[in-house]
Amino acid sequence: MTVDKSKSKLAQAAAEIGSGWEKSWQLGKTSFDKGAPPPALVKLVAEGRVPNGRALVPGCDGGHDLTVLASPSRFALGLEISPTAVIKARGTLQSNSIPDDQAAVIEADFFTFTEADLPALIASTPASGEPAGAPQFDAMFDYTFMCSFPPSWRRLWATRTAELIKPGGMLITLMGPLTTHRGGPPYSVSVELYRALLKDAFDEEEVSECESLPRCEGLEKLGVWRRKMTATS
């Protein structure tokens, strides 16, 4: 099954999953929202390692990661499937005085959103008569996102991630929870799983121990991956 052939099924499944996340946000059961940007991301940005241009944060929760990525030279876009989370994340941007021309949050499905769904500030204009295709980003940050999907979705996540990141672009993953528990979300993951999913489209630049937020110590590692100029099969 490919992303193109499964969009309608994905949209239906995503809507069902999204309703669950929306209920969690409405009830205030949001332990998955860490309440602050992770130190590993803060460090990468401070070191100047994150590419400028367009950065994507799928499943951005309360929008805290966007406040770190947003800059005059980098537009940070957060995706959320929960309307309540969108409101929360937009409030985070406002309370941190992030300008509208540096960050935004939209309600959209990671697997199916197109260039036409992007804010006008960063959207590209397709050629006359051409449908809007998948947007492309210079960087993407995944934290508590891939692990939220059932294992059967993991290959689709990898395919879509490769589609959304420009050749030469960067994928930053905070890989966790690195446990062996059953069920989810969050579902358990491993470094080996990420390597297997990403090896065809990405080169591994770094996998390392990292400083974590409280309650996450020892449960995650940092992964930095570079989108290949040409994917291998």
8 pLDDT higher than 70: no
pLDDT digits (tens, 9 = 90+) for 105-162: 999 999 999 999 999 888 876 655 556 688 999 999 999 899 999 999 999 999 999 9
* First vs last C-alpha separation in the chain: 15
What is the pLDDT confidence band of residue 185, given thresholds at 50, 70 and 90?
Answer: confident
- What Cα–Cα distance (Å) separates residue 156 from each residue in 6, 152, 162, 230? 9, 8, 10, 19
Query: Per the confidence metrics, is the pTM higher than 0.95?
Result: no
Specify the higher pLDDT residue, 147 or 17: 147
pLDDT digits (tens, 9 = 90+) for 36-70: 999 999 999 999 999 999 999 999 999 999 999 99
What domains does the chain contain, in order, with CATH numbers? 4-24+37-111+134-227 (3.40.50.150)
What integer pLDDT is reported at residue 18 of this predicted model?
57
Q: In what order do the strands lie in the sheet with 165-175?
A: 103-107, 74-80, 53-58, 137-143, 165-175, 221-227, 202-208
What integer pLDDT is reported at residue 209 of this predicted model?
95
82 pLDDT higher than 80: yes
Residues 154, 134: contact at Cβ < 8 Å?
A: no
